[in-house]
């Protein structure tokens, strides 16, 4: 099953179109080439190492809670994805 998960942008490298995102203690570099104006503090929906779109902090929290309620650890999904070049 494919899963897109929300995470918060911690830092952005505009020259490489990448960002570091955080989900709990997990940090991961992802591509932000598909979204406009990524900035630290933004929440993004991530799938296979790419930020697909921005979402509100409330929507991110609700989505993470639904994933946890289903018995999954969202941080595990973030560590399992490949880092985009």
Q: For position 39, what pLDDT does the model report? A: 97
CB 17 within 8 A of CB 30: no
* Listed residue (35, 36, 69) closest to 52, CA to CA: 35
**Looking at the whole model, is its pTM more than 0.85?**
no
Partners of 30 in beta bridges: 19
* CATH number given to 5-80: 2.30.30.140
- Max CA pair span of the chain: 38
DSSP string covering 9-72, please? Answer: EEEEETTTTEEEEEETTEEEEEE-TTSSS--TT-EEEEETTEEEEEE-HHHHHHHHHHHHHTT-
Q: What is the pLDDT along the chain (85 residues), one digit of tens a residue?
A: 567 899 999 999 999 999 999 988 899 999 999 999 999 999 999 999 999 999 999 999 998 888 888 877 677 666 554 444 4
| Domain ranges within the chain, ordered by starting residue | 5-80
What's the number of CA atoms in the CB half-sphere (13 Å) around residue 73? 7
């Amino acid at each position: 099953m494919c899963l897109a998960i929300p995470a918060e942008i911690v830092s952005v490298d505009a020259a490489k179109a990448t960002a570091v995102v955080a989900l709990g203690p997990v940090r991961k570099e992802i591509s932000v080439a598909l979204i406009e104006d990524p900035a630290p503090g933004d929440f993004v929906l991530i799938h296979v190492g790419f930020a697909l779109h921005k979402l509100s902090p409330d929507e991110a929290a609700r989505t993470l809670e639904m994933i946890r309620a289903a018995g999954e650890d969202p941080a595990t999904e973030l560590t399992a994805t490949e880092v985009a070049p």
